[in-house]
Chains A and B, each alone.
Chain A
Amino acid sequence: MKINGQDWHLAPLAAHIWHGDIAPAALADLARAVKEEGGQLVALWGSDDRHLGSGYAIHLTCMTANGLAWVSAPLPEATPAYPDLAAIFPQADRMQRATFDLLGLTAEGAVDRRKWLRHKAWAADEFPLRKDFTAPAGDVEAVDGYPFIRVEGDGVHEIPVGPIHAGTIEPGHFRFSIIGDRILKLEQRLGYTHQGVEKRFEGLDLATGAKLAGRVSGDTHTAFTWAYCMAVEQALGAQVPARALWLRGLFLEIERVANHLGDLGYLGNDVALTFGFMQFWRLKEDWLRLCGELFGHRYLFDRILPGGVAADLDEAGRRRLADLSHRIEGEVRELKAVYDEHATLQDRFAHTGIVKPDLAARLGLTGLAGRASAQAWDARAQFPQAPYDQLEVNMATARKGDVLARAEVRFAEVFESLRLIRDILERLPGGDLSAPLPSVARVCQGLGWVEGWRGEVLVAVRIGADGRLDRVHPHDPSWQNWPLLEVGVLGNIVPDFPLINKSFNLSYSGQDL
């Protein structure tokens, strides 16, 4: 596979997904090649490979012009270190810090060496993802310190918010430095919902692993479960029946519509347009109820399994889903007319929380928020996996990068997903819902890649020779986008923070793991 004209000797794993080993010293060269070509770093994680006869490894995936490049660099057991990549791709910073907290792999030359996922549940010299880690026995300290960056000067003061927030949202800490009502600096401290998910994967059977993958971030259940199953199936060389793949596509678009409807409602709510909240949540509830009736779960939890799917759709169900998607499309058009016409809403949305395209490119803004800042990446359109290779997805983009642009992209994606759903319903092939998985003979690995509603979701899976999960790394696009929220709020007033935050709607649990 060529990146920026140079061959990196990566082998194809699946359509648009490449993998290869690389020397640690070459990582920075590779990252620079990706950057020069206009690509982005997507995910970075580590693994303990000592039980496989080597030391540790650092893994990197990058979006390139030719698809997703996944490289693994072996690191020696005695000095597990690799060159800092955050200087090239700033989005690597928190991933590198988390990789140190969990595995003790050091990014040499990194500027920010503060802990990230580790608070106080384990000590600085303990690394939970090392295979020989044993859970600390004693109680942990009650209070955990963290060196926030202070802003000083006349009239500057701090507002600490969280970890427990005032609304029904996930926990995290936001440290605002403000002057008057203007935000001079926002610093996030996340990791509060760290559940040790990656450790929990170790030793699970493949079916249970799918359940756990779906609970990395509940609102992205389908994307994570599908990415996990894609990785497992790729590792084992399993063939998934066409009907199952098309139903997975259907589920993914259903999930996108449900989340976008909810967000559009909350965006109205955050500018005191309760009407918008009530209307969109009425539509979302109708949507969820039909899913519950047709597929047995309002959010389609556990409907995707390794090898296929666990829910089918009959002719009557097909009609009901098509009818509801028609009705919702019509109603969303009516509501969009209200949002377009509503002076207060437009005033609050426009020019608020701006991330300009050049900054978005430099810092790696991705997914829905990226597309609202002219970062035109959508795996469904550019690097389609089945069934998207047979569906023509129209990517939604905007250039202004403000709250309004992120709302506009959501509207466009709701309409496009509803169109895709009807297309899938019409063309849904017959056949089996699942196929048995080949048995596991040796250690094998795979990488799943799904464009979830928030952005690209990756799951890397390594299966041991015993057929059980050895190492699983789920990656949520919130990793890249959280730091952009810090930048997007600068110069805005504090009362606009909830609105800007909602317009990104990032996952805490997806990045806290």
Chain B
Amino acid sequence: MATHLILQKIFKTGIVSEPPPAADPALRTREQELHEEILKVFGQAVAIRHVDAGSCNGCELEIHALNGPHYNIEGLGVKFAASPRHVDVLLVTGPVSRNLETALKRTFDATPEPKWVVAMGDCAAGCGSVGAMFGPNYASCGKISNVIPVDVEVPGCPPTPIALLQGILAAVSGGR
């Protein structure tokens, strides 16, 4: 009975996935050596590990949205993985709380080279009025690049899924 209802709903819904946006190279903050060469080897598949380094969980809402059907992120060859040892990109949110500083550094170290770090949101990028509100204090190290090297910063509070996708693609597309 449920199968019938599921199939009916799937056919009625159709395909809602939309074409992806282009990469936004302007979001890059750092060019790594051998970037182009690495990307040739990489092909088109990228694995991402999300790390919440102390966010308010607003950015996480939009990461979840990326996994929804409109954005079809896995169809673009981008996949979220459970372990930093399996990924190419760390997607980091939040200002880095001092209580997570060690865990973030260890996650970065556990990620094999070559790797890219995308800092998501105003707090993570340390920009705008929200970034200023969440600057370093007794409990926080402030923006992500204060703790680990960052390749791409995506501003926004939270950045929209499209902006986030543009940032992720900027990290791994090498201008293609």
Q: Write the residues of chain A forming the contact surface with B, with a CB cutoff of 8 angstroms.
A: 119-122, 128, 133, 135-136, 140, 142-144, 163-164, 166-171, 191-196, 199-200, 208, 211-212, 215-219, 221, 262, 266, 275, 277-279, 281-282, 284-285, 288, 292, 298-299, 301, 334-335, 337-338, 341-343, 507-509, 512
Interchain Cβ contacts under 8 Å between A and B, 21 examples:
A122-B139, A168-B63, A170-B57, A171-B53, A193-B94, A193-B99, A194-B54, A194-B139, A195-B54, A195-B97, A196-B138, A196-B140, A199-B137, A215-B133, A215-B157, A218-B57, A218-B58, A219-B58, A219-B61, A262-B64, A288-B65
Q: Which of B6-14, B19-27, B30-38, B145-153 contacts A (4 or more CB under 8 A)?
A: B6-14
Given contacts A136-B138, A164-B103, A285-B68, contact A200 B55 (CB under 8 A): no
| 3 closest cross-chain pairs (CB), A and B | A218-B58, A281-B68, A196-B139
**B39 interface contact, C-beta 8 A:** no
Q: Judge whether A168 and B58 touch: CB under 8 Å.
A: no
Q: Judge whether B5 and A193 touch: CB under 8 Å.
A: no
Q: Judge whether A196 and B137 touch: CB under 8 Å.
A: yes
Instruction: Return B82 CB to nearest CB of chain A, in Å.
Output: 4
State the CA gap A508–B53 with chains docked (Å): 12
**B134 interface contact, C-beta 8 A:** yes
Q: Write the residues of chain B forming the contact surface with A, with a CB cutoff of 8 angstroms.
A: 1-2, 5-6, 9-10, 13, 16, 50-65, 67-70, 80, 82-83, 94-95, 97-103, 107, 129-130, 133-134, 137-140, 157-158, 160
State the CA gap A135–B137 with chains docked (Å): 7
Classify the interface of chain A: helix, strand, loop or mixed. loop
> Please, which residue of chain A has its CB at the minimum distance from the CB of B161?
A285
Partner of B139, one of A195, A277, A285, A288: A195
Q: Judge whether B13 and A279 touch: CB under 8 Å.
A: yes
Q: Judge whether B100 and A133 touch: CB under 8 Å.
A: no
Q: Judge whether A281 and B67 touch: CB under 8 Å.
A: yes
Q: Judge whether A337 and B5 touch: CB under 8 Å.
A: yes
Q: Judge whether A120 and B68 touch: CB under 8 Å.
A: no
Q: Which residues of B contact A282 (CB under 8 A)?
A: 13, 16, 68-70
Number of A-B contacts (CB under 8 A): 172
Q: Judge whether A168 and B60 touch: CB under 8 Å.
A: yes
Q: Judge whether A128 and B57 touch: CB under 8 Å.
A: no
Partner of A299, one of B99, B129, B139, B158: B158
State the CA gap A292–B55 with chains docked (Å): 22
Given contacts A135-B137, A211-B130, A509-B55, contact A281 B100 (CB under 8 A): no
> Please, which residue of chain A has its CB at the minimum distance from the CB of B95?
A195
Further 11 A-B residue pairs, CB within 8 A, beyond A195-B95, A196-B140, A278-B69 = A119-B98, A166-B83, A168-B60, A168-B80, A195-B134, A195-B140, A284-B68, A301-B157, A337-B5, A338-B6, A341-B2
> Please, which residue of chain B has its CB at the minimum distance from the CB of A128?
B138
Q: Which residues of A contact B137 (CB under 8 A)?
A: 135, 195-196, 199-200
Q: Judge whether A170 and B64 touch: CB under 8 Å.
A: no
Q: Judge whether A218 and B10 touch: CB under 8 Å.
A: no
